[in-house]
A and B are shown apart, each in its own frame.
Chain A
Amino acid sequence: MIPDKSHPVWKKVVFGQKPLTSSQLGLQMLLKRISTRITPASPAADVQAAIEELHNFFTKFERILVDEIKSLGV
């Protein structure tokens, strides 16, 4: 089950405080782009946009992200 986008785990992921391993190239590239743009000092709107994008990715590809969803640990 994918946690709701308001769940704190997403903020940890976009801040790089919760490492996520994946073999899905799209997710690897998305996480890299987020990590180069978003820090805890980033504007709240930018952080929220990154969370939305990541959540959308998980929602769309839920069927092939079984291990990644487990590793969110929620």
Chain B
Amino acid sequence: MKKVLMSVTEVSALIQSGKALALAGDESLLAQLPQGNWIGGTIPYFVGENGGVQSRELIYVSELEGEISATSVRTYSTGTISRIAADAPDNGYSVLIIPALTPIHVQYAKEARDYQDMFLKPVIGWIAGVHLDDLGKVTPKVFNGQTGEILSEAAVALHAALPEDCIATIEILNLFRQGRGDVLTFPETGFSAATCRVNGKETSFADYVNQNKLDLALPLVADYNGAQINTSFQGIEGQQVNFYAPVFAGMEYRQAAPVGDYVHEFEALSQGQHEGTPFACNCILNYLYGKLEGRKTGDLTGPITFGEIGYQLLNQTQVILKIVRQ
């Protein structure tokens, strides 16, 4: 399997050779890299060539090699992020990294599906985070390698153009399927909810969660024409239930059906022909609940993230970029 975890020296050499890179690692490592054709985000958790690992010494490298005919690196603010797909080349893809727990994170999560050209141009990426011990002490950062900017309130994207005979698509691997329980709808789009409708009847969502002893490791799942899209629980604060991605007003959710053995099911799901995948990432909740540290699952590697981007913000999902040549 290709080497994906590298030292600062090794990554610097790749940058200096002109490679287009999407990087993940500790802030102190990314800050040492030379300027070049790269973007990066902070996180110390990865699935590397030898399995799940946390490291403050190594950088995860997604080499966007092969078919690319041109690239550009851009920084986006809350005022410009709506241009993310419109700015992308007509045929290609964009890798986007957004710092967690910021206004641009929230804005993208709520509004991305309405951005111009979204779905016509594949946007894949992740939400940068921090070591779980540093939550509340350190802010997640993203890096524009071209300008050398280190940003805590903006997003960065690497737009890659592909030749005519190639098409980029995004695939997801999701352990979860809608269960057969109650249909839940929410009155407002947001990262938290005080009330919801349970099979059409309005109720306190916190009371519903507590009374029904919902297992918060199992996300809410909406059916997007066959694609199972998760919204993960963060926790309950008083009468407020918090999520890692927004619930959308009017969307019908059910809690996910229980999975048998999380680790084995995830392993089975990850098996496949993924060699040559230019970019993939997985969720920190899968890493934690799936006990991926020290384990090798299938042939997919990638940063472990505070949220995945497959067009929209996703939770508890492995996201994979595929290049189809025809």
A interface residues with partner B (beta carbon < 8 Å): 20-33, 35-36, 53, 56-57, 60-61, 63-64
Which of A25, A28, A31 lies at the interface centre, i.e. has the most chain B CB atoms within 10 A of its CB? Answer: A25
Bound state CA distance, A64 and B323, in angstroms? 11
One of B113, B114, B170, B326 near A25 (C-beta < 8 A):
B170
State which of B31-39, B128-136, B221-229, B285-293 sits at the interface with chain A.
Answer: B221-229
Knowing A57-B120, A64-B169, A64-B324 are in contact, say whether A29-B248 is a contact too (CB < 8 A): no
Is the CB–CB distance between B251 and A29 below 8 Å? no
Is the CB–CB distance between A29 and B167 below 8 Å? no
Residues of A within 8 Å of B122, CB to CB, are 26
Interface status of B103 (Cβ within 8 A of chain A): no
Residues of A within 8 Å of B226, CB to CB, are 21-23, 28
B interface residues with partner A (beta carbon < 8 Å): 113-114, 119-120, 122, 167, 169-172, 222, 224-227, 229, 248, 250-251, 310-312, 324, 326
One of B113, B170, B326 near A33 (C-beta < 8 A):
B113
- Nearest CB in chain B to that of A32: its residue: B224
Which are the 9 A-B pairs with shortest beta-carbon distances? Answer: A32-B224, A28-B227, A28-B225, A30-B119, A26-B119, A31-B225, A28-B224, A33-B113, A63-B326
Is the CB–CB distance between B167 and A64 below 8 Å? yes
B302 CB, nearest partner CB in chain A, Å: 17
B197 CB, nearest partner CB in chain A, Å: 16
Bound state CA distance, A31 and B224, in angstroms? 8
Knowing A36-B251, A60-B120, A63-B326 are in contact, say whether A26-B170 is a contact too (CB < 8 A): yes
Residues of B within 8 Å of A35, CB to CB, are 225
Residues of A within 8 Å of B167, CB to CB, are 61, 63-64
Residues of B within 8 Å of A36, CB to CB, are 248, 250-251
Bound state CA distance, A33 and B171, in angstroms? 18
Residues of A within 8 Å of B250, CB to CB, are 36
Residues of A within 8 Å of B171, CB to CB, are 25
Knowing A22-B225, A61-B167 are in contact, say whether A29-B120 is a contact too (CB < 8 A): no
Residues of A within 8 Å of B172, CB to CB, are 25
Residues of B within 8 Å of A31, CB to CB, are 224-225
Which of B170, B227, B251, B324 lies at the interface centre, i.e. has the most chain A CB atoms within 10 A of its CB? Answer: B227
Bound state CA distance, A18 and B84, in angstroms? 31
Is the CB–CB distance between A32 and B120 below 8 Å? no
Apart from A25-B311, A26-B170, A61-B169: 10 A-B pairs, beta carbons within 8 A: A25-B170, A25-B171, A26-B169, A28-B224, A29-B119, A29-B224, A29-B229, A32-B222, A33-B114, A56-B120
Is the CB–CB distance between B113 and A24 below 8 Å? no
Is the CB–CB distance between A24 and B169 below 8 Å? yes
Residues of B within 8 Å of A22, CB to CB, are 225-226
- Nearest CB in chain A to that of B165: its residue: A63
Q: List 8 A-B contacts (CB under 8 A).
A: A20-B225, A29-B311, A32-B224, A32-B227, A33-B113, A33-B119, A61-B167, A63-B324
Residues of A within 8 Å of B120, CB to CB, are 26, 53, 56-57, 60
Is the CB–CB distance between A21 and B251 below 8 Å? no
Knowing A36-B248, A36-B250 are in contact, say whether A29-B227 is a contact too (CB < 8 A): yes
Is the CB–CB distance between A25 and B169 below 8 Å? yes
Knowing A30-B119, A60-B120 are in contact, say whether A25-B248 is a contact too (CB < 8 A): no
Bound state CA distance, A20 and B229, in angstroms? 18
Knowing A22-B226, A56-B120 are in contact, say whether A29-B312 is a contact too (CB < 8 A): yes
Residues of B within 8 Å of A21, CB to CB, are 225-226
Bound state CA distance, A22 and B171, in angstroms? 12
